[in-house]
């Protein structure tokens, strides 16, 4: 990467370019060549901010500042440089060098994008030719359901009780319970959560909606119970959906879904973060789209908690990096739909490996840059989601950093154990597991193998 030394000469060139920009005149190419190299804000950086930052970094969204203009980015440059080069922003803390990399909600920056941003800052934050500036992005109306176009209005909308948050206060967790009002079992095709009411979006950091119901009455309960209870894994209360800013609704793959039963209720967990103004009567709501009656999916998706701590417990000595590990064996063939590590302030990294029945071992994914205040759900592309045969052992490994080096560590002289408070610890993975009928599992594996061969053949042909 090139290093530039910002000089007063260059600052003059920038001011000159900006003045031309204000007049709507394209600056002479020489103004850029003269000391600032080829990276400009208008041509190179703005498209990245539009695609990867602005959804959160705009007025009324969750981030503390806007990144909509050259001026914004110029002002925040040193913070941006730090957060993008250490992969804290955009919030996507997965190790990009190992495991599956095809995700439906990927908002990470590529290595080249990070280099572009850093080169722009180190090169003197050149604005560039106004003609290169892309038009502003129109973000979707945050008051509309994201899935409206695809599915229409939801079949069922469940709203939480309203909450009020003071202008300045510690983070709050709001946990009301709302009956779903369902009177017959219904299969769910898609779900979406959105903050609503007064300024709900500005203070709602993330939302979990748990579905509480009597699982013994559920169809496929034998498969689910057998699959869920062996090997130390726990199911439920089902996490129905997790929401954070930037998240689309969730659509279950062909032939799979969640089920809602009569008597069920939603237990909300809304993480609120004060933004300097008192907000009254805000609430969150959950939209549910059902499969038509009689059109039932063959497979059920269920949220599982895979603990890293089952056998050994969690016992983190002061001043040390502790490793905790546990194993869970799948009793049914399964497709893992997502990967979401959960730890607290000392959380450092978590990995998921599969040991196949034939002994082959594969690192499925790893978060190597865990940030405790972000709950990121890494949702696999349907054709990349791990397909695992019955008898596969999942290995969950968690690393906690209880040293003084960890900037989030409130006290590195404490022993730390398991608990709810953020100063206590946890170590588990949330995974939406679709338990597959064995014949369907074989068919999915065969189809994927065929697609892989076809793609390979296509590349070989194009190489000739
Ligand atoms: C999903 C929403 C989201 C996205 C996408 C996002 N940010 Fe952020 N950003 C936040 C929030 C919320 C904070 C404040 C809390 C925190 O730091 O975790 C923040 C904080 C920051 C900060 C630190 C601000 C300070 O007060 O020091 C910088 C710099 C930043 N973001 C830059 C970026 C850049 C650059 C991008 C895109 C490449 C980006 N962010 C993408 C939500 C987001």
Position 349 scores a pLDDT of: 97
Cβ–ligand 1 distance for 410 under 6 Å, the answer no
CATH number at residue 372: 2.60.120.230
Cβ–ligand 1 distance for 62 under 6 Å, the answer yes
Pocket test for ligand 1, best of 70, 90, 92, 370 (most atoms within 8 A of CB): 90
Pocket test for ligand 1, best of 91, 142, 247, 376 (most atoms within 8 A of CB): 91
Instruction: Decide if 393 is inside a domain.
Output: yes
Same domain, 288 and 303: no
Position 81 scores a pLDDT of: 98
Instruction: Decide if 236 is inside a domain.
Output: yes
Report the separation in Å between the CA atom of 53 and the middle of ligand 1, taken as the mean of its atom positions.
7
Cβ–ligand 1 distance for 56 under 6 Å, the answer yes
Same domain, 289 and 306: no
What's the alpha-carbon Rg for the chain, to the nearest Å?
Answer: 25
**d(C-alpha 341, C-alpha 305), whole Å:** 10
**d(C-alpha 297, C-alpha 288), whole Å:** 16
Cβ–ligand 1 distance for 192 under 6 Å, the answer no
Position 228 scores a pLDDT of: 45
In terms of residue numbers, what domain contains 388? 298-464
Report the separation in Å between the CA atom of 243 and the middle of ligand 1, taken as the mean of its atom positions.
17
Name the residue with tokens 């196949």: 356
CATH number at residue 217: 2.60.120
Report the separation in Å between the CA atom of 447 and the middle of ligand 1, taken as the mean of its atom positions.
40
Q: Which of 297, 331, 350 is the last residue of a domain?
A: 297
Same domain, 153 and 127: no
Same domain, 85 and 173: no
Residue 218 contacts residue 237 (beta carbons within 8 Å):
no
- In ligand 1, the atom with minimum distance to the C-alpha of 80 is 29
Return the residue whose CA atom lies nearest to atom 15 of ligand 1: 63
Report the separation in Å between the CA atom of 325 and the middle of ligand 1, taken as the mean of its atom positions.
32
Instruction: Decide if 287 is inside a domain.
Output: yes
Count of structural domains, the chain: 3
Cβ–ligand 1 distance for 152 under 6 Å, the answer no
Q: What are residue 436's DSSP bridge partners?
A: none
| Nearest alpha carbon to residue 379 among 222, 243, 193 | 243
Q: Which of 83, 104, 132 is the last residue of a domain?
A: 132
Same domain, 246 and 343: no
| Nearest alpha carbon to residue 326 among 355, 303, 297 | 355
The answer, yes or no, to whether the previous bond of 237 is cis (omega within 30 of 0) is yes
Instruction: Decide if 140 is inside a domain.
Output: no
Report the separation in Å between the CA atom of 356 and the middle of ligand 1, taken as the mean of its atom positions.
39
Instruction: Decide if 141 is inside a domain.
Output: no
Whole-model pTM: value is 0.81
Pocket test for ligand 1, best of 49, 57, 79, 373 (most atoms within 8 A of CB): 57
| Nearest alpha carbon to residue 272 among 170, 161, 383, 381 | 170
Cβ–ligand 1 distance for 139 under 6 Å, the answer no
Instruction: Decide if 139 is inside a domain.
Output: no
**d(C-alpha 95, C-alpha 110), whole Å:** 12
Same domain, 277 and 328: no
- Residues comprising the chain, all counted: 464
Position 237 scores a pLDDT of: 52
Q: Which of 297, 330, 345 is the last residue of a domain?
A: 297
Same domain, 334 and 355: yes
Cβ–ligand 1 distance for 47 under 6 Å, the answer no
Cβ–ligand 1 distance for 72 under 6 Å, the answer no
How is 361-429 classified by DSSP, letter by letter? Answer: EEEEEEESS--TT----EEBPTTTS-EE-TTPEEEEEEEEE-STT-TT-S-TTS-EEB-SSTTSB--EE
Instruction: Decide if 138 is inside a domain.
Output: no
Return the residue whose CA atom lies nearest to atom 2 of ligand 1: 56
Question: Mind listing the pLDDT tens digit of every residue in the chain (464 residues)?
Answer: 333 333 333 333 333 333 333 333 333 333 344 344 589 999 999 999 999 999 889 987 778 899 999 999 999 999 999 999 999 999 999 999 999 999 988 999 999 999 999 999 999 999 999 999 999 999 877 778 888 988 999 999 999 998 888 888 887 888 999 999 999 989 999 999 988 876 777 777 778 888 888 776 555 554 554 444 433 344 445 667 767 665 677 888 888 888 888 999 999 988 887 778 888 888 999 999 999 998 888 888 887 889 998 767 899 999 999 999 999 999 889 999 999 898 989 999 999 999 999 999 999 999 999 998 787 889 999 899 999 999 999 999 999 999 999 999 999 999 999 886 777 888 999 888 888 888 989 999 999 999 999 999 998 887 66
396 exposure class (CB count in 10 Å sphere: 0-12, 13-18, 19+): buried
Position 360 scores a pLDDT of: 97
Same domain, 322 and 364: yes
**d(C-alpha 220, C-alpha 293), whole Å:** 17
User: What is the b/e burial string over 17-37, where b = at least 16 CB atoms within 10 angstroms of the residue's CB?
Assistant: bbebbeeeeebeeebbeebbb
Same domain, 332 and 278: no
Same domain, 323 and 453: yes
Cβ–ligand 1 distance for 325 under 6 Å, the answer no
CA distances from 304 to 2, 212, 348, 363, 432 (A): 47, 14, 22, 19, 6
Report the separation in Å between the CA atom of 63 and the middle of ligand 1, taken as the mean of its atom positions.
6
Same domain, 285 and 264: yes
Instruction: Decide if 314 is inside a domain.
Output: yes
Report the separation in Å between the CA atom of 90 and the middle of ligand 1, taken as the mean of its atom positions.
6
Cβ–ligand 1 distance for 50 under 6 Å, the answer no
Q: Please state whether beta strands 393-401 and 315-316 pair in parallel, antiparallel, or not at all (unpaired).
A: unpaired
Name the residue with tokens 């959380």: 347
Locate all alpha helices (DSSP H) within 190-305, ordered by sequence: 200-203, 221-229
Position 4 scores a pLDDT of: 32
- In ligand 1, the atom with minimum distance to the C-alpha of 52 is 37
Same domain, 355 and 234: no
């Amino acid at each position: 990467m090139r290093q530039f030394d910002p000089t007063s000469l260059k600052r003059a060139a920038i001011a000159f370019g900006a003045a031309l920009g204000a007049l709507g005149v394209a600056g002479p190419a020489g103004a850029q060549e003269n000391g600032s190299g080829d990276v400009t804000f208008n041509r190179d950086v703005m498209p990245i901010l539009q695609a990867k930052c602005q959804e959160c970094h705009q007025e009324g969204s969750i981030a503390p500042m806007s990144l909509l203009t050259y001026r914004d980015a110029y002002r925040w440059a040193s913070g941006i440089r730090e957060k993008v080069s250490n992969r804290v922003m955009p919030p996507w803390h997965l190790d990009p060098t190992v495991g599956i990399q095809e995700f439906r909600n990927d908002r990470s920056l590529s290595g080249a994008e990070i280099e572009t941003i850093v080169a722009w800052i180190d090169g003197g934050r050149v604005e560039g030719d106004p003609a290169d500036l892309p038009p502003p992005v129109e973000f979707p109306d945050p008051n509309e359901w994201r899935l409206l176009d695809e599915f229409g209005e939801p079949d069922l909308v469940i709203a939480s009780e309203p909450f009020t948050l003071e202008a300045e206060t510690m983070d709050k967790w709001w946990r009301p319970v709302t009956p779903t009002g369902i009177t017959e079992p219904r299969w769910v095709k898609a779900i979406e959560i959105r903050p609503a009411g007064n300024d709900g979006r500005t203070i709602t950091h993330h939302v979990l909606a748990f579905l509480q119901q009597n699982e013994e009455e559920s169809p496929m309960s034998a498969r689910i119970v057998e699959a869920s209870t062996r090997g130390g894994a726990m199911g439920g209360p089902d996490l129905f959906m997790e929401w954070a800013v930037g998240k689309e609704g969730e659509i279950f793959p062909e032939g799979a879904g969640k089920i809602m039963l009569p008597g069920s209720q939603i237990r909300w967990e809304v993480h609120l973060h004060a933004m300097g103004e008192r907000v009254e009567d805000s609430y969150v709501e959950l939209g549910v789209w059902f499969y038509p009656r009689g059109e039932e999916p063959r497979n059920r998706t269920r949220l599982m908690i895979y603990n890293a701590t089952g056998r050994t417990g969690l016992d983190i000595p002061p001043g040390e990096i502790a490793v905790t590990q546990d194993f869970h064996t799948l009793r049914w063939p399964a497709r893992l739909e997502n990967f979401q590590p959960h730890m607290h302030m000392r959380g450092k990294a978590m990995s998921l490996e599969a040991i196949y029945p034939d002994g082959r071992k594969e690192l499925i994914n790893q978060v190597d840059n865990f940030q405790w205040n972000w709950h990121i759900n890494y949702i696999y592309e349907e054709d990349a989601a791990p397909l695992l045969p019955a008898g596969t052992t999942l290995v969950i490994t968690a690393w906690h950093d209880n040293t003084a080096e960890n900037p989030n560590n409130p006290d590195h002289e404490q022993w730390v154990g398991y608990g709810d408070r953020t100063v206590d610890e946890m170590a588990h993975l949330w995974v939406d597991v679709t338990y597959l009928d064995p014949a369907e599992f074989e068919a999915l594996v065969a189809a994927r193998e065929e697609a892989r061969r076809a793609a390979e053949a296509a590349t070989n042909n194009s190489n000739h």
